[in-house]
Amino acid sequence: MKTQKILLLFIVFLVLAITSFQSFYQLGTEHIKIWDEARGANNAIEMMQNHDYLVVKFDGQPDRWNTKSPFFIWFKVISFKIFGITEFAVRFPSALFAMLTSLVLLIFSKKIFNEIYTGAIAVLVMMNTIGYMGYHVARNGEPDTILVFFTLLYSLSWFLLLEKYPKRSTLLFFAFAVNVFFATFTKNIAGLAPLSGIVLYTLVRYKILCKLIKDYRTYLSILSIFGLVILYFIIREKFDPGYTQIVIKQEVTGMFFDYFVGKPKHPEFIFYFKYLFKNGFYQFVYFLLLSIPALILTKNTLRRNFIIFNIFAALIFVIGYSSSVAKNEWYIAPVYPFLSLIIGTSLVELVNITYKKTSNKYLKYFIIFLLIVPFSWVTINNGRSTHLKNMPKNSVYKYEADGHYLKKYHLLYPEINDIVVLSPYYSGPKDPNLDQVKFYIKKYNIEDNTNFSVQDNFSDDLIGKHVLICNTIYVDDLYKKYDYEIIDFNTQCIFCKILNEKQNFDNSLEPITTTLGSTSQPYFLKIDDYNFVYPFISDSLIALKIDDKNNKIYMWYLDSTLNVVNLENDTINIISEKFIPSPGYSTMDISNLAIDTDKDSVYVYYADNKVSVGTVFDFGYKFYNVTYPEGNDANTLIDCAIEQNGNHFYFWFNTGVVSSGTFNDLAKYRDLYNIILPSDILYSKILFFNISKSEKTIMITESD
C-alpha cells in the first residue's frame, strides 16, 4: 500500500513537473507577439490605468477589434499588478490555466476511475502537443487556454451528470451552468461551440435524456446561462453602444457567412483535419485508433461511455468549426483535452484488459510493452519537438521587428528617451499592425516616463531625434536626404540619430544597379524588387542568390547568418536564421555558392578548390574535387549560377570569361568564352550573378 502511494505521488510529481516546464520555461523571453497577444496586453494596460473593468478599450476608445468579454483581461491586470508590465506577466494567466487544466484531468481521473493513469496520460499528450502548447494557446497571452479550462470543466460536469443522475445532480447542474457562463465570458460565442457534441451525445443517451427533459433543473440551468449572458450584453451595451452588433458581425456572420477581415486564409473544409494530422496533433493522432479495440473489448460501461463522449465532443466540434468561413489553427484549441482523454482512457483500458485476460505472463508483459513503449517514445520525442518550437528563434517576424528592436535598444541605451519608430503599417491610431509597438511605448512610458512614438514617414521634427527603421521603404530617403549617426545596425533594422537634412540630395542616385541579359552579354534594366537589398550588402556578405521559383532571396554572411527574403504576395518579409558550414571549413574559406531551386540544393565552392553539396541552411559534409578551366581557380571565380532547364552550371571569372559545365567540372559543356559588358560596368564593381527562370542573367553591381 505504501509503495502504491509513493508511485502515485511520483507520477503526479512527474506529470506536473513536465507540465510546469512546458508551460513556464522561458515564458517571458520572447518579445510580445503581434495582433492578438499585443492587443490584449494593450487592453490590460489601459484597464489598469482607467479602472474601467467592464468596457475593453484601446487608445482610450471602446475596442472594436477585440470584442471579447473582459474576463481574460482581468487576469492580465492582476498579473501586471503582481509581476509588473512584462512579457511574462502577459502570458502568466495562460500558463497558469494550462497547469489548472492538467490538475483537473488528474483529479477527474482519480475521482471517476479511481486511478491516476488515465489523467496522467491525457496530460502528457496534451502538454506535449504542438497545437495546444504552440502559438496563440498555452504559452501566449491570449484567452484560449482559459477557454479550454472552462469548456473542459463544463463538459466533464455534464458527463458526470449523465452517469451519476440523480445523485449529486444539483451540484453538477450548477457546475455545468457556471462553467458554461465563464466559457462564454472568456471568448463569447466560442465558449458555446463544444456544446454541439455534448448535446448530440445526450440525444444518443435516450433514457437519461428523457429523465433530464422532465427535470426542472435542466431548464433552470439553460435559463441561468442565457440570462447571465444577456444581462452582461445589456449592461455592456449601456456603457458601450453598438457592442452587441459588432459581436454578431464578427463572431457569428463573420465566422460562418461573411469574413470581415479580408480574404479567408483557409477556405477548404478539411483544413482543421489536415492541421491535426500534419501538425497540431500529428504524432499522437494514430493513438486515437486505440479507441477501436478498447470499445470492442471493454466490459467497463463507464469507460466505454467516456470514450464515446469524448469522440462525440471532439468530432462534432471540429466538424462545426470546419463549416465556418474563418479558420485559424488555434480556434480548435478546446479539442485537445478531448483527444487526449480518448487516448488516455483507451490506453489504460487496453492495459487493464491485457492484465486481466492474458494468463501467460510473458505474453501479457509483451502486449503491455507494445502499448506503453511506443507511446512513451512518441511522448518524449513530441515533447522535445514542442519544447524546441516554443523556444526563442533567431528570426524576427517582419511585423514584430519594430517592437522587438524598440525593446532591445531601450534596454541597451536606457538614456535615449526620444525614439521614433517609422512604420508603413501606421494607418491610424487603431491599426492592429502596431499593437506590439504600442505595448512597448505604453510599458516604458509607465516605467520610466519615456516618450517614444510611431509615425509613417519622415518629418521635419525628426531632426535631432533617434529613429528606428525596420522597413526598407525608408532606407532610400534616409541615405539620400539626411545626415545621420548610426547607433546600431543589423540585418533587419537601422537605429540612428537624424542629424540634419542634406541641402542638395540627388534623387537619381541608386546604390544598386541590376541588369538583365544573356550569360555572355548582359544589358541594363532596373528591377525595383531587388533594390531594397543594398542595406544588407557589406564586406561580411559571402553570397546573394535569387530563387525565382519560390520568390526568395538568400544572403549568407561570414558570421553564419542567413537572411531569407520572401517576396511573395507583393510584400517583403525578411527573416534571419543560422546556417551550418561544412565540417573542417569556416565561412572564411567559402569562395562562392550556387543554388539549385528545383532540388533545394546548394553547391558551396571553397578556396582549396573543393565543393560541398548541402542545403541553404546546412552546407553538408560530402566534398568533391573541382576541375577549373585552365588559368583559373577558386580565387578568380566571381560567381556561379545554375540554368535550371538544362541543369547547366555557369561560372564567371574576373579574367572576363565565363564557362559552362557540371558542379565539379566547370568547363565540361563549354570552355571559356568572353563576356561583353556595358561600357560603364567594370569587373571590379560586380557583386553577384544570378540566372532567372526565363534563363536571363541578373547581374547586380555596386555603383560608384
Cβ pair 120, 106 in contact under 8 A: yes
Q: Where does the pLDDT of residue 211 fall: very low under 50, low under 70, confident under 90, or very high at 90 and above?
A: very high
Are 407 and 356 contained in the same domain?
Answer: no
Burial of 39: CB neighbours in 10 Å, binned 0-12, 13-18, 19+: buried
**Phi and psi dihedrals of 235, rounded to 5?**
-65, -45
**CATH classification at residue 567:** 2.110.10
Are residues 570 and 675 part of one domain? yes
Q: What is the DSSP letter of 14?
A: H
Alpha helix segments (H runs only) across 214-265: 216-239, 243-248, 254-256
Would you state the pLDDT for residue 1? 59
Residues 6 or more apart whose Cβ sits within 8 Å of residue 245: none
Would the pLDDT of 513 be above 50?
no
Looking at residue 490, what is its pLDDT? 67
Q: Total domain count for the chain?
A: 3
Read off the pLDDT band of 298 (50, 70, 90).
Answer: very high
Strands (E), 518-579: 522-524, 541-547, 552-557, 561-566, 573-578
Q: What is the pLDDT of residues 363-383, one digit of tens each?
A: 777 777 877 888 888 888 888
The answer to whether residue 42 scores a pLDDT higher than 90 is: yes
Q: Are residues 233 and 316 in the same domain?
A: yes
Same domain, 413 and 344: no
pLDDT score for 681? 62
Q: Let me know if residue 64 belongs to a domain.
A: no
Q: What is the pLDDT of residues 532-544, one digit of tens each?
A: 666 677 778 888 8
Question: What pLDDT band is residue 444 in, cutting at 50, 70 and 90?
Answer: very high
Query: What's the rounded Cα separation, in Å, for the pair 481 and 475?
Result: 10
Same domain, 552 and 629: yes
237 and 343 share one domain: yes
Grid cell at residue 403: 517592437
In a domain, 570, yes or no: yes
The full DSSP string for 59-108 is: TTEE-SS--S-THHHHHHHHHHHHH-SSHHHHHHHHHHHHHHHHHHHHHH
Of 106, 108, 111, the C-alpha closest to 123 is 106
Give whichever of 506-520, 606-620, 672-686 has the largest mean pLDDT.
606-620
Residue 291: the pLDDT is 96
In the predicted structure, residue 512 carries a pLDDT above the cut 70? no
At 135 the pLDDT is 83
To the nearest whole percent, how much of the chain has pLDDT over 70? 87
User: For residue range 449-474, what is the model confidence (pLDDT) as tens digits?
Assistant: 898 999 888 988 999 999 998 877 78
Q: Is residue 15 part of a domain?
A: no
* Domain match, 304 and 439 both: no
Q: If you count them, how many residues does the chain have? A: 704
Residue 24 inside a domain? The answer is no
Q: Which three cell numbers stand for residue 582?
A: 561544412
379 and 404 housed in the same domain:
no
Residues 632 and 696 in one domain: yes
Cell triple for residue 356? 486481466
User: Are 268 and 225 in a shared domain?
Assistant: yes
**Residue 14: inside a domain:** no
**Residue 236 shares a structural domain with residue 362:** yes
H or E element in which residue 431 lies: none
Any domain includes 55? no
Q: Using 50, 70 and 90 to split pLDDT, how confident is the model at 387?
A: confident
Q: Residue 20 CB: number of other CB atoms within 10 A? A: 15
**Three-state helix/strand/coil letters over 604-620:** EEECCCEEEEECCCECC
pLDDT, the chain, mean:
85
Which of 501, 531, 564 is at the close of a domain?
A: 501
Specify which residues 614 forms β-bridges with: 602
Last residue of a domain, one of 447, 478, 501: 501
> Nearest CA to 669 among 651, 654, 653?
651
Which strands, in side-by-side order, build the sheet including 512-517? 522-524, 512-517, 697-702, 686-691
**Contact of 656 with 674, CB cutoff 8 Å:** yes
Q: What does the pLDDT read at residue 530?
A: 53
Reported as a pLDDT band with limits 50, 70 and 90, residue 169 is very high
The answer as to whether 680 is a domain residue is yes
pLDDT at 62 over 70: yes
Angle at 17 between CA 16 and CA 23, to 5 degrees: 85
User: What's the domain range around 377?
Assistant: 99-135+142-390
Please indicate, yes or no, whether residues 265 and 224 belong to a single structural domain of this protein.
yes
296 lies in some domain: yes
| pLDDT recorded at residue 516 | 42
C-alpha span between 432 and 425 (Å, rounded): 9
Mean predicted confidence (pLDDT) in 1-15: 82
Which has the minimum average pLDDT: 95-109, 180-194, 318-332, 498-512? 498-512
pLDDT at 492 over 50: yes
Residue 252 grid cell? 457569428
> 333, 367, 390: which is the final residue of a domain?
390
